[in-house]
Amino acid sequence: MADFYQLLGVSRTADTDEIKKAYRQLALKYHPDRNEGSKESEERFKEVTEAYEVLRDPEKRAVYDRYGEQGLRGQPGAGGFGGFNFADAIEVFMRDFGGFSGLEDLFGVRGPRGSRAVSRRGQTVRLRLPLTLQDVAHGVKRKLRVSLLDACDACGGTGAEGGSAPAVCNVCGGSGEERHVQRSVFGQFVSVQPCRMCGGEGRVIEHPCPVCRGDGRTRAERELEVEVPAGVTSENFITLRGQGSMGPRGGPRGDVVVLLEVQEHERLVRDGRDLVFELPVTFAQAALGCEVDIPTVDGTARVTVPGGVQSGEMLRLRGLGLPDLERGGQGDELVRVIVWTPDDLTPEQEEALRRLMEVESPAPERVGSRAHKGFWSRVKEAFTGG
């Protein structure tokens, strides 16, 4: 097992912020939704998440620094560490990076994780939700059809035939746990593992239900509703807590994770909360000024291009951008003026331009801010590109 610091690519003195940042980058890189479910990425995702989960917690980190990973496994009260699986990794990622502040609480209760409940917890179901820029601008409610595992009708989810009661496991006596006392150089400690006979459930089924073969679940389709707040990006997820697949034999439900995919608009380019639109104008329009209708998220808006505008200059239409999910407020639409040079002149146009050439002033050595005082200083916006 690689060193946790190496896995995250941080130094041993890295602070929590650095660790968080490094993890986020790696997690997004290896996130299963971005890797077509590749097993290798899944494994990497799990590894970096496990490393992050330890190093972000000062207590676990201190134990790890002194005793290594082995120290964490042996520690009673180290938060039940050990047996960190992929579902746990997804849960950690969603907890720290997936949601929006406060929003998750709208979707269900986040209960404390009991160790036994975890082992029987149903799987997290992941699905994609494509969104248009208009959905992002206003927020949207969507119904989703989800294929998941639901309680078997024949046995009521118990997994036992005809609803017969499962028997208490005679290996662990129903506790679901096997305890082993171990000795190591650090002293004696007790390790607790799920019972191998009953898999930690504490009960065994003697007569399995023929429909679900004792699993307590069958495949089903459910309709869920998801409410997407305005201002989301493709980096956001929405977690519908406890609405995923049922766990085996009545185990608690996993989550549904909705991965948002904001589709590109054909003419508007998103830059954070702002939208950028490129507006080609003719030379005459640029020199004399003009009024033009331009597309916005919801339709069109009229923009006044002032005479003397230079190619590449930005005009700002306040409030016509997208809502800002994190900071609140509303972005702007930035209109980038591009002066278009005609490359196919009619004889009449050519004649007019030749006349112009005779009377026009020479171009300055540099296109500077000479002309941009007063009114210009207010409308001109440097293009930052994000």
Task: Give the footprint of Zn ion on this chain (CB under 5 A).
Answer: 152, 154-155, 169, 171-172, 195, 197-198, 209, 211-212
Whether 232 contacts 103, CB under 8 Å: no
- Residue 221 vs residues 177, 277, 292: alpha-carbon distances, Å: 34, 42, 50
At closest approach, how far in Å is the CB of 78 from Zn ion?
A: 24
Is the Cβ of residue 16 or residue 170 nearer to Zn ion in the bound state?
Answer: 170
Residue among 144, 152, 109, 104 at smallest CA distance from 128: 144
**φ, ψ of residue 134 in degrees (nearest 5):** -65, -40
Buried b (16+ CB within 10 A) or exposed e, 154-173: bbebbbbbeeeebeebeebe
Nearer residue to Zn ion within complex by CB, 171 or 287: 171
CB of 149 or CB of 195, closer to Zn ion: 195
Distance CA 379, CA 38 (A): 49
As a whole number of Å, the CA-based R_g of the chain is 30
**Which run of H or E residues covers position 281?**
strand 274-282
* Closest to Zn ion by CB, 110 or 213: 213
Min dist CB 82 to Zn ion, Å, is 19
Asked if 261 contacts 253 with a C-beta cutoff of 8 angstroms, the reply is: no
Neighbours of 33 (CB within 10 A): 16
Which is closer to Zn ion, CB of 157 or CB of 254?
A: 157
Least distance in angstroms from the C-beta of 116 to Zn ion: 11
How buried is 243 (Cβ within 10 angstroms: 0-12 exposed, 13-18 middle, 19+ buried)?
buried
Question: What 3-state DSSP class applies to 237?
Answer: strand
Specify the residue, 129 or 152, whose C-beta has the smaller distance to Zn ion: 152
Q: Which is nearer to Zn ion, 166 or 321 (CB)?
A: 166
From the CB of 201, what's the least distance to Zn ion, in Å?
7
Question: Min. distance of Cβ 155 from Zn ion in angstroms?
Answer: 3
> In the bound complex, what is the minimum distance in angstroms from residue 220's beta carbon to Zn ion?
13
Q: Minimum distance from CB of 156 to Zn ion (Å)?
A: 8
Nearer to Zn ion, 220 or 269 (CB): 220
Minimum CB separation from Zn ion for residue 219, in Å? 12
What is the signed CA dihedral for 196, 199, 202, 206, rounded to 10 degrees?
-90
Helices (H) and strands (E) in the chain, counts: 10, 15
Structural element, H or E, at residue 50: helix 39-55
